[in-house]
Each structure stands twice: as structure tokens, then as C-alpha cells.
A and B are shown apart, each in its own frame.
Chain A
């Protein structure tokens, strides 16, 4: 209890950081809700793997929450690696609805926040580290898709056999291709101006993160992943 109060106290004390987090949560929530029913259909490009033909890209709004999760980890770090993604998902899921998969998607976005935070720890907001940021982003998206589709398979959307698992991942490919394309573009569009500003001596605030906050930020996605598995099994 004392630790929770300490955490809340620290969040309130650092108002700049809090305001920026609110801004990210507001942007993510509003855009996801507004665009939810206004996505264009899949472009007429089809891919055939294992005798299954499907559209190459299935459009969704993953990239908005994903890019904001990575940015929140990269610029804010600490508690905000999980507060920002989970807040966006809770607010928008309350409006749009979700199902048993929610703990998998939420933990997936928190993993992306943590990847952004790991990059922050390496002080990568420099031009020479742009490939590294994009590489970590790409790796994070792959982890998200592998994790959430494992949840889809575990939750019974496909049969619990090796063939069912393979089919699940093949059916997920159009989403994965779109996630990679859209999110890499979104990260590039955000991170390049941020680095430009930073290198031209326009102050981007840097926040100090204590050891406890660091540990909690790393533990958050692990706890969520364990809860996601338990929610399916129990």
C-alpha cells in the first residue's frame, strides 16, 4: 500500500511527465474510437501460403496504440510504459468492447512500452540510432503478434493441435504484415522529428527514473502475461 501511495505521489509531483502522458492517452483513445468504423477495406493484394489464399493486409488500428506505447516508453519511461497503453486500451475497450483476448492484447502493448523503455535506457534519441529504434520496433511488433495469436489459439478459436496452431499463425499473417508496415511508418514519422528537435537543441524533457520504478515497469508486462494465460486456463 505504501509503495502504491509512493508511486502515485511521484506521478503527481512530476507534472510535465503526467501532462504528456495524458496527452498521449487522449490522442490514442480519441483516434482509436473515431477511426474504429472508418477503416478502408483490404487492398486487392492476395497472398497464398499453405494453399490458403487471403488478403495480404488486413487493416486495423494496431499501429496507433503500438506507436504510442513505444513512444511512451521511449520518452516517458518508468510507470508510463504500462500506464499509457493500458489506459488507452481500457478507455477504448469500454467504448468499443473486447473479449477474453483482452489481457493478451493489453500485455502485448505493455511489452511494446517496455521495448521503448529499454531504448530510452540506451539513450537512443540520436540520428545514428534511428536504425536501432526501427529494429527494436520491428522486433516488438513480431513479439506482439506471436504472443496475441498464441492467445487466440489457446483461447479455442482454433483446434488445440499443431495443425491448429500453424493455421492460426497463417491466418494472422495479413494482420502481421499490416502491423509491420503501418507501425514502422508511424514510428518513423514520430521519432525522426523528435530526434531532429533534440539534435537542434530544442529541449526534450528527460525524466529521472528510480530503481523501484524501473523494476515495476519491467514486472508489469510479465504479470499481465501470466494473468492472460491464467485467464484462459482457469
Chain B
């Protein structure tokens, strides 16, 4: 093998080997079940689930209720309450996060809007959620709380 062809093989291997490794990892992922083609089920418990809801508007005004629904996230609770004309919500979709933030909730004619000092916090079963409400899928008997909090 002359020096030139050896150099060509080394050159091509620098491109081909990483591509083979990536393809190998992809098919390996499919093999062990890390990668799949079936969409994930939103809920651990399939079918109708019952959720307790509290929206705390901070100045001793609260909405408390419950709801039965299927296949929903913490964010879906707000849109469902809006459909029932109990509240109005304003949200922003952030492309960079792939998720929604809650800008304001209007209840009994008063608008509770996030600003430099206030924001809408999402709690699930008494714990501040570690991620956006539209990423948290609900299960039977979950307690969902939205609270208008100060920074």
C-alpha cells in the first residue's frame, strides 16, 4: 500500500467511522428500547382521571374545584377552565424551550398578570414543579395548584 492510498483511507475513516458510530448507536437504541417509533402515552393511568385544582390569586381569592378528564397536562387544566369560561388565560409559546408560559389569568374580572415581580407558579401534589406545566402529565387524584407568586 503506498503512502497516498494509506492517507486516503485515514482521511475517509475520519468521516465514515463517526457516521457508523452514530448509526450504530441509533439502531442499538432501538434494540434496547431507548428509541421507539410509538408516541408516548401522556398518562400513566389510562382513561378518565380525577384532578383537584386550586388557583391561588394571592389576595385571599382562590378558585377551588375538581375536574375529570383524559390524557392531560397541568397546562391543559387551565385551557379546560378557560373553555368552561371560569377563567381567561394569556400564554406565550417559546420556541427556544418548546413550551408555553402563563402570562396572565383573569378571574372574576380581575387580571393577574406576570411582571418583573410576579409570576404564575405551578405545583403538583404540593411540590413546585421542576419543569413547565405543559410537560407534566397528570395522573388520577393528582392535586394541581397554580399560584400567583412574588419574586
The chain A residues found within 8 Å of chain B, CB to CB, are 36, 44-49, 53-54, 56, 58, 60, 98-99, 101, 105, 128, 130-131, 134, 148, 152, 157-159, 161, 163-164, 167, 171, 174-175
Contacts and interface: CB of A to CB of B under 8 A. Distances in A.
Main secondary structure, interface of B, reads: loop
B37 A44 contact: yes
A99 B93 CA distance: 11
Contacts of A98: 96
A44 B40 CA distance: 10
A175 B98 contact: yes
A170 B38 CA distance: 19
Main secondary structure, interface of A, reads: mixed
B33 interface: yes
A163 B130 contact: yes
Contacts of A49: 34
Contacts, number: 56
Contact of B34 (A47, A163, A171): A47
Interface string B102-135: 0000000000000000000000000010111001
B38 A46 contact: yes
A46 B130 contact: no
A44 B131 contact: no
Top 10 nearest A-B pairs (CB, nearest first) are A53-B40, A131-B14, A159-B130, A58-B98, A46-B36, A164-B130, A47-B35, A167-B130, A158-B130, A48-B34
22 contacts: A45-B37, A46-B37, A46-B40, A47-B34, A47-B35, A48-B33, A49-B34, A53-B36, A53-B40, A99-B94, A101-B96, A105-B96, A128-B11, A152-B97, A157-B97, A157-B132, A158-B130, A159-B130, A163-B130, A167-B130, A167-B131, A174-B98
A148 B36 CA distance: 28
Contacts of B29: 47
Contacts of A175: 98
Contacts of A105: 96
A5 to B, nearest CB: 36
Contacts of B95: 36, 60
Nearest to B30: A45
B15 interface: yes
B136 to A, nearest CB: 11
A171 B37 contact: no
